[in-house]
């Protein structure tokens, strides 16, 4: 028997093993429907996914589709270890909840009580602010990219903490807004360490993983440590070829968790039948956050609280390198769905929802059917398109969000990055996305400004209309050139002029083009600093710029020459 034949038989036997162990309670017709969802990845030459379904206290289905390690032709099974990325956050939140019940910390206490070395922003940030992503602290992964860590640099816990410690300003005042930031959970892991007297890894292991018999699960606090049976991370080159996409972030709290389907099934069961902690701990873990103005968030303590098909859900996704993971729990039905992938273009959210749809009755099916009929492209046709032309054009959000609005075929369209769709008119100047009626575009004109308020369940983003500047004389462009320094990151960027084109330059990256929206707003092709707001003195001379880009706001660079 050839080596190739042996490996093929091993691949087939592994798949059969997972079915025979975990699918006995499901009829063949249901198993076939599940298999059909993942046919695309069910190959001996492609990365894929591991799937798990939990009902009550049992893992009723677990199966691997595709390959965990292409080089060695090792298939994915229910035991394959995946990096969970941000799915890790719910375990960090639970560590905090358990410590609070032990009286070792308070959620509404200033974080400096536990981390006296944390930077002083001049405003109180509580443990709860970190848990709910309402602290205003900038994202460490985003900051590391700006600082010049490079595409292949390694972000460790120590480096992330050093970056956070140097920060002197916030995105916003604590509790004012919700903004997802990994820094919050890096700091929470340090709080666990400080108040428990144990390493974060050790506390999670003794307080959660061992009681739940998650024996193949751990937080990785040493990136050189070997992990047996780990799925390798891949990106797609084309339909039949793949490339390694190595994990280069090894921080704790925000991520760091390695686990598999079998272990995570025990965690799902803990949401409605707790064996680590008790029901009051689960209630606190899933308590939705609240802004200073009283508005409720959908984000709780490391996990989202939403509704799906009319049922309450606890869910969270993760994505880093080529890992794409998602967990969705229906506590009232005592069911959970897990989908973990090692391929970068895998949509873990959509694939988990498709899996849940097989089992979860849609309690609002009739209502959804009416919405589906009423929200198709025909209903997007405008009765008076001419009255809305004043809202067409190019907009920039406070955090650098680029938005274009135009009218085509009597429909109003939005364009954000690579996403584009028509909008449904809900009221005179209010529109929403066809498949997401809870995301609204509210247009208004105030004084000379045309504004879109982009309303989501957790936040309102103010987006202002601009007219792109086409009067670009050489003298005007030269005014922007120079070297700019950020004391909070100790790094430089330069703006240079070549062939009548402004470029943003850094020693760690290739130069990128700069587009002038107007005198004070510049756009670049770097994702980590796509929007620069120019700062001027009282004589209108340029004295620097600040980055307003996604999870990093008001980060200042001073012009030094």
Please list the pLDDT of the chain residue by residue as tens digits (561 residues).
333 333 333 333 333 333 334 545 799 999 999 999 999 999 999 999 999 999 999 999 999 999 999 999 999 999 999 999 999 999 999 999 999 999 999 999 999 999 999 999 999 999 999 999 999 999 999 999 999 997 678 999 999 999 999 999 999 999 999 999 999 999 999 999 999 999 999 999 999 999 999 999 999 999 999 999 999 999 999 999 999 999 999 999 999 999 999 999 999 999 999 999 999 999 999 999 999 999 999 999 999 999 999 999 999 999 999 999 999 999 999 999 999 999 999 999 999 999 999 999 988 765 555 444 456 778 889 988 888 999 999 888 888 888 999 999 999 999 988 789 999 999 989 999 988 888 899 999 988 889 898 888 887 888 888 877 777 789 999 999 999 999 999 999 999 999 999 999 999 999 999 999 888 999 999 999 999 999 999 999 999 999 999 999 999 999 998
Rounded Cα distance, 455 and 298, in Å? 14
Q: Can you give the pTM of this predicted structure? A: 0.90
Q: Give residue 365's pLDDT.
A: 63
**Secondary structure of 203-223 in the HEC alphabet?**
HHHHHHHCCCCCCCCEECCCC
Helix 182-196 / helix 157-165 crossing angle, nearest 10 deg: 100
- Sign of the dihedral defined by the CA atoms of residues 321, 531, 304, 104, in that order: positive
- Tokens representing residue 95 in the block: 């560590």
CA-nearest of 186, 178, 175 to 118 is 186
Contacts of 294 (CB under 8 A, 6+ apart): none
By DSSP bridging, strand 419-422 and strand 411-416 are: antiparallel
Give the distance, in angstroms, between the CA of residue 286 and the centroid of all CA atoms in the same chain. 18
Q: Give residue 206's pLDDT.
A: 98
Q: How far apart, in Å, do the first and last CA atoms of the chain sit?
A: 71
Torsion region of 36: left, alpha or beta (phi above 0 gives left; psi -120 to 50 gives alpha): alpha
- Specify whether the CB–CB gap between 454 and 439 falls below 8 A: yes
Angle of CA points 124, 401, 558, to nearest 5°: 60
- Residue 524 phi, psi dihedral angles, 5° rounding: -125, 175
Rounded Cα distance, 197 and 191, in Å? 10
- Specify whether the CB–CB gap between 40 and 341 falls below 8 A: no
Rounded Cα distance, 156 and 164, in Å? 12
Q: Give residue 5's pLDDT.
A: 32
Rounded Cα distance, 328 and 309, in Å? 13
Q: Give residue 374's pLDDT.
A: 54
Helix 89-101 / helix 182-196 crossing angle, nearest 10 deg: 40
Angle of CA points 227, 232, 238, to nearest 5°: 180
Rounded Cα distance, 440 and 422, in Å? 12
CA-nearest of 24, 164, 13 to 74 is 13
In the 8-state DSSP scheme, what is residue 415? E
Rounded Cα distance, 127 and 175, in Å? 11
Q: Give residue 93's pLDDT.
A: 98
Give the distance, in angstroms, between the CA of residue 466 and the centroid of all CA atoms in the same chain. 29
């Amino acid at each position: 028997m050839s080596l190739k034949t042996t490996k093929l038989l091993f691949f087939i036997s592994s798949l059969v093993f997972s079915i025979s162990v975990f699918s006995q309670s499901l009829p063949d017709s249901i198993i076939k429907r599940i298999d059909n969802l993942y046919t695309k990845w069910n190959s001996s030459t492609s990365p894929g996914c591991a799937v798990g379904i939990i009902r009550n206290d049992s893992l009723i289905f677990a199966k691997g589709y595709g390959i965990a390690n292409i080089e060695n032709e090792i298939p994915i099974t229910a035991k394959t270890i995946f990096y969970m990325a941000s799915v890790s956050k719910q375990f960090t939140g639970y560590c905090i909840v358990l410590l609070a019940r032990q009286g070792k910390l308070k959620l509404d206490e200033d974080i400096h009580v536990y981390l006296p070395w944390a930077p002083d922003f001049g405003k109180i940030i509580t443990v709860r602010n970190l848990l709910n992503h309402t602290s205003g602290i900038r994202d460490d992964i985003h900051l590391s990219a700006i600082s010049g860590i490079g595409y292949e640099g390694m972000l460790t816990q120590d480096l992330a903490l050093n970056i956070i410690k140097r920060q002197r300003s916030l995105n916003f005042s604590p509790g004012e807004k919700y903004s997802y930031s990994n820094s919050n959970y890096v700091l929470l892991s340090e709080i666990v360490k400080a108040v428990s007297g144990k390493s974060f890894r050790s506390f999670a292991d003794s307080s959660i993983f061992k009681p739940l018999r998650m024996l193949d699960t751990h937080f990785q606090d040493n990136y050189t440590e070997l992990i047996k049976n780990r799925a390798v991370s891949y990106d797609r080159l084309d339909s039949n070829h793949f490339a390694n996409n190595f994990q280069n972030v090894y921080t704790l709290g925000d991520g760091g968790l390695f686990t598999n389907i079998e272990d995570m099934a025990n965690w799902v069961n803990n949401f409605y039948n707790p064996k680590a902690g008790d029901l009051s701990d689960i209630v606190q873990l899933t308590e939705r956050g609240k802004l200073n103005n009283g508005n409720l968030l959908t984000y709780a303590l490391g996990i989202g609280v939403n509704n799906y098909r009319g049922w309450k859900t606890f869910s969270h996704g993760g994505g880093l390198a080529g890992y794409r993971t998602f967990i969705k729990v229906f506590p009232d039905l005592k069911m959970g769905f897990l989908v973990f992938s090692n391929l970068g273009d895998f949509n873990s959210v959509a694939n988990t929802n498709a899996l849940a749809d097989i089992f979860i009755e849609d309690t609002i099916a009739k209502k959804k059917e009416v919405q589906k009929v009423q929200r198709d492209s025909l209903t997007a046709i405008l009765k008076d398109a001419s009255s809305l032309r004043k809202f067409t054009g190019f907009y920039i959000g406070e955090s650098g969000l680029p938005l274009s609005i135009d009218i085509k075929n009597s429909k109003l369209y939005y364009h954000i990055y690579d996403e584009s769709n028509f909008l449904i008119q809900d009221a005179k100047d209010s529109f929403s996305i066809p498949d997401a009626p809870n995301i609204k575009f509210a247009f208004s004109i105030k004084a000379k400004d045309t504004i879109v308020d982009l309303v989501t369940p957790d936040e309102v983003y103010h987006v202002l209309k601009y007219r792109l500047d086409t009067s670009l004389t050489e003298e005007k462009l030269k005014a922007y050139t120079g070297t700019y320094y950020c004391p909070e990151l100790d790094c430089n960027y330069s703006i240079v002029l070549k062939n009548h084109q402004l470029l943003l330059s850094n020693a760690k990256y290739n130069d990128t083009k700069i587009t002038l929206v107007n005198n004070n707003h510049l756009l670049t092709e770097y994702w980590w600093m796509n929007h620069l707001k120019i700062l001027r003195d009282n004589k209108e001379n340029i004295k620097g710029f600040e980055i307003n880009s996604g999870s990093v706001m008001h980060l200042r660079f001073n012009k030094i020459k």
